[in-house]
Each structure stands twice: as C-alpha cells, then as structure tokens.
Amino acid sequence: MPELPEVETMCRGLRPIVGCRIEKVIRPKISVKPIRFQPEAERFCRELTGQRVDRIERRGKRVIVVLENGYVVFQPKMTGLVSLTDPPDPDHIRMKWLLGAVEKESEHQVSSGSIEVFFWDRRGLGTLSFWTAEQLEQHLGEGKLGPDALSISVDQMCERFRKTQRAVKVALLDQKLLAGVGNLYASEILHRIEVDPRTPCHRLKVVQWERLHQAMRDILEEAIRYEGSTLSDGTYRNALNQSGGYQNHHQVYDREGEVCRKCGKASIERIVQAQRATFFCPTCQRRAGKRG
C-alpha cells in the first residue's frame, strides 16, 4: 500500500503542476528515518531546480514526473504519498517543491499563482529518484517491471502465470510478472472470482484466468473511481489530503472474523503467504478437493 489505484489517484491529482516550473526544492529538517535519494539528496535538488514539468505518468506503483530534462520517480512503498496540500503531519515531510505559474494553458492546469508539492512518508521506506531516459528503462523497463495490470491482455497473463507453481495470490504480487497489484487488491480480486488464494497458478484453467483478468480490471477501475482505499491507519490520502472511498467496498481485506458479504455465512479468515496477510472466505473460495 499504496497500490495501483492509489498511485493513479496521486498522478491524476498532480495534473495541475503540468507546465509549471520548479522554482525551489526544499528538504525539511526532520528527526525521523531519512528516505533514500538517487542521486544523493543535494544533487537531486540541484537537478530539479528550474526545470519545467512536461507531464505526469505512472509505472506500476510509482509516480513519474516527466521534466524537460529527466524523470523524477516517486516510489511510495508502504506509507508514502504525494500531495498538493499539507499532508497528515509536518514531521514526515521528506521533500517540498515550490512551483511557479504554468507557462501554457490546458484543461488540467491552473492559470496563475504558485503550487506546492509534498512528498510525505511516515515510515521512511519510500524513495525519490532522478533518472535519465536510459536509467528509467534500466530500472523500470522490460524485464524489470511486468506489464501494467490495466493494460495486460488475457493471453499475456496466461503466458506469464500458468507455468509457475506458486500460489496465485503470491504470484499476483510479483511486480516482474504484473505491475500494480498489491496485497489488498489481490485478495479482493481472488474473492470476486471465488478462487482460493493458495491455489497454484498452473492448476487454474484458462476460463479462470479470463475471469481473473476481467475482475482485476473491474476492481482496479472501480477503486480508481473512489480515489483508492484509506485504511484504518489513515496514512493514504489523495493529492488534496482527502480520504479515498474504496475501503467501504472491500469484501475481504482487513475484515478477519466478519461475515462474508457474498455468501452471508462464513467468517473472513486471515492467513500469511510470503510474509503478507491474505484475507479470504473459506466458503466462497473453497479449496480444491475440500467439501463443506
């Protein structure tokens, strides 16, 4: 967390800065664990200063700010977020940009005044990188990052997943196979298609992969419409420091012990897979060979 819907929401929230020029880059003095910069922080700040923002992109679970000369890559990881207003607290602001007025108009741009951009990270696990086009492809190109979850085809998905014996929930988290899906949405996707998360990928039939692919698109697009999920810790916020709304539509994630909203009978269970929590309904997602 944040996953594809939250990061896509961040990207859309940053659209007002397109056309603006970065006038100043500030690293607030804080007493908590520092985040990692690439290159080192002082050079990072120098490289950005004076550059114009050309566009905003997303690759998997990363926000990419395309400048006229290079790419700024925000990797939020567990608790990072990019905001246009004051984030949850001042103690964990890792970087602040001051941007001037836009140089040309578009439907997403403001016409005058200045804008502030904050990168906030409570746990300090996120990273900030400034890369050339070659470095971007070296780190996030083919072979490093799989096809995006909103653009991958069914055929691509079958080809990439069907040969592995890993549990389907674990495989969905592998960003080299598929970019964008994380722990939360993998649990929701598998519940919707009624597949046990422990099922090995090679045992799923083509029709199940087709259903998984459709459910993945539907859930991710729906979560984007709700601007992502804000969990009980309140960490994730959109660019205007407002909560997402998709957490109110979760069927299994973080609902251990609660009655399944689909079958209305079983209680949601929690197991650990690859050191990550998995939530599922033992009735809707009955394990192959098991009888109720």
Q: Which residues are catalytic?
A: 2-3, 61, 276
Cα-based torsion angle of the residue sequence 142, 145, 146, 152 in order, rounded to the nearest 10 degrees: -90
Classify each residue of 69-95 as buried b or exposed e, where b means 16 or more C-beta atoms within 10 Å of its C-beta: ebbbbbbbbebbbbbbeebbeeebbbb
For the chain, the maximum distance between any two Cα atoms, rounded to a whole number of angstroms, is 65
Distances (CA, A) of 274 to 171, 271, 278, 281: 10, 10, 10, 19
CA dihedral 261, 264, 269, 273 (to 10 degrees): -50
Query: Distance between CA 272 and CA 279 in Å, rounded?
Result: 9
What sign does the dihedral 239-243-246-252 (CA atoms) show? Answer: positive
The token duo for 248 is 């109110």
Pairing mode of beta strands 70-75, 62-67: antiparallel
Residue 60's region, left for phi above 0, alpha for psi from -120 to 50, else beta, is: left
